[in-house]
Structure 1
């Protein structure tokens, strides 16, 4: 039997590749995009399988109605929270609107959408929730503090949710890709620059993003999308899937560094208990 997928951010990048794979496999798809006309070609090609919904995922009040229409069509088997975007700049350089926007888009939106689907999935006793995170959900880089806040938050939320929902045969999976060659990089926004940061690590990394070409984005989004489909449709999806040699290196280095530091602090950690 075919699956019914709900996919946010379907108009471009990994989301677009996912949409094409899902439909080509014969599954049903409810796809959301801020500009639904960007999916007109797929709607014409797959009129019975694809329903496109206009949705800005940061507008919480619009989520419930879109989810209700999707569920009325047929129960959703697989949710993919894919919509996202980045703002590059030192923390001080970011405006309040940029700070709040990063949290709204990359953290609160997937939380709200996930919560909207959980009750029906739990009652049905089946479902897959796929969160498109990033290697940035485990590592950190100057100029991306709010993106990291959102992705680290999504990782913690999803790890807890996995433990809550697995007894109901619901599986939550975090996808942690590295640099994919998609429009994401072209759509990066840059905070207003403060000159004092130009010769600091934050300034150097900002410059790298401003001037980067394809050499920074080596991953094939089609292969990433196929990996996501394979994981989402497996019998027992894992909690985390890291995709890309660059992502593997970032996550490995971050975990090794944290473990080494933790071990160096063991004596201090154990020193604060009551004396026996």
Structure 2
């Protein structure tokens, strides 16, 4: 970590009526920051956070680019700037890759990927004009390491990782930062029926893979190791850092999973190195 900024910030947070979004908004407001908190129904934001002078609750369905553009304009009209964009809105699709219908896959990408892009495109002109700001995209350990039963969801989070890597490089010369946050399992309502959708189709032959995951998730709700309040505190520290990282893993389970995958990838790379490097033209020496 580098030296933290103590300047009051203006936050734009999607999916802010509950879960991580509401907790981040609450903590930002408690320290005197100003917050644009968005949800499909802005009244749910007021219900969660109360009426406050520093809070602007806005309607935003992230799947609507029109909503995103309108919300960004309202935010700047009210507070004059945006310092931190937190792309938090999203949901999970539990089911095997083959089990997921085209419509279920499309809806998952519409929210988790295209929705994030709608909001990011709407806010970035303000950050570029300021020559400052920080885009924080909430991914998942599933954005770094895919899992059985979560293939489509993880595919959306892999996309978020790729987009953030590119943004990190593209925005740096403009004074704007981009970070992807990779939470593990936190004790939120993520596994509730309104946050996770199960595929309508269940194929019996996947009982030993996808079926095992369904059973595991049914017993894991509200028993996850991560503390959501501590995640919110970590996001504020991230936003205050003068030189934020490209990636921020949150949770000891995420750290362990990343280390395990990195070791496996390196071992496999070495095992197949001769084949991997055998495909160059003969006139290529390196």
Query: Structure 1 residue 173: deviation in Å?
Result: 0.6
Q: Return the offset for 1:26.
A: 0.4
- Name structure 2 gaps, 5 residues minimum: 1-6
Q: Distance in 2 between matches of 1:251 and 1:104?
A: 27
Q: 1:145 to 1:42 in 2, by over 3 A?
A: closer
Q: Distance in 2 between matches of 1:43 and 1:133?
A: 24
1:240 matched residue in structure 2:
247
Structure 2 equivalent of residue 201 of structure 1:
209
Listed one character per residue, the Cα deviations across residues 45-72 of structure 1 (whole Å, up to 9, x for unaligned) are 42x2000001111122221111111122
Are 1:102 and 2:108 matched, yes or no?
Answer: yes
Cα shift readout 1:122-174 (whole Å, capped 9, x = no counterpart): 22111001001111111011111111111001101100110111111111011
Matches within 5 A, 1:1-276: 1-41=7-47, 44-46=50-52, 48-73=53-78, 74-186=80-192, 187-215=195-223, 217-276=224-283
Whether contact under 8 Å (1:42, 1:50) holds in the other structure is no
Q: Which structure: greater helix fraction?
A: 1
Per-residue deviation at 1:198? 4.7
Instruction: Give secondary structure in 1 for the equivalent of 2:98.
Output: helix
Say if 1:195 and 1:268 are closer, same or farther in 2 by CA, change over 3 A. closer
Question: Any idea what the Cα deviations from partners look like across 1:27-85, whole Å, max 9, x if unmatched?
Answer: 11111012221222466442x20000011111222211111111222110110001111
2:3 corresponds to which residue?
A: none
Q: Distance in 1 between matches of 2:118 and 2:218?
A: 32
Deviation at 1:246, TM superposition (A): 0.9
- Partners of 1:270 and 1:142 in 2: how far apart? 31
Of 223-232 and 199-208, the range deviating more from structure 2: 199-208
List gaps (5 residues or longer) in structure 1.
Answer: none
Using the size of structure 2 for normalisation, the TM-score is 0.91
> What's the CA shift for 1:106?
1.0
- The count of corresponding residues between Structure 1 and Structure 2 is 274
Give the superposed CA RMSD.
Answer: 1.5
Answer yes or no: is the 8 Å Cα contact 2:59–2:67 preserved in 1: no
1:215-244 alpha-carbon deviations (Å, 9 max, x no partner): 3x1111000000001001111111111010
Measure, in 1, the Cα distance between the counterparts of 2:9 and 2:199.
Answer: 41
Q: Distance in 2 between matches of 1:53 and 1:260?
A: 49
Pair 153,195 (structure 1): closer, same or farther in 2 beyond 3 Å = closer
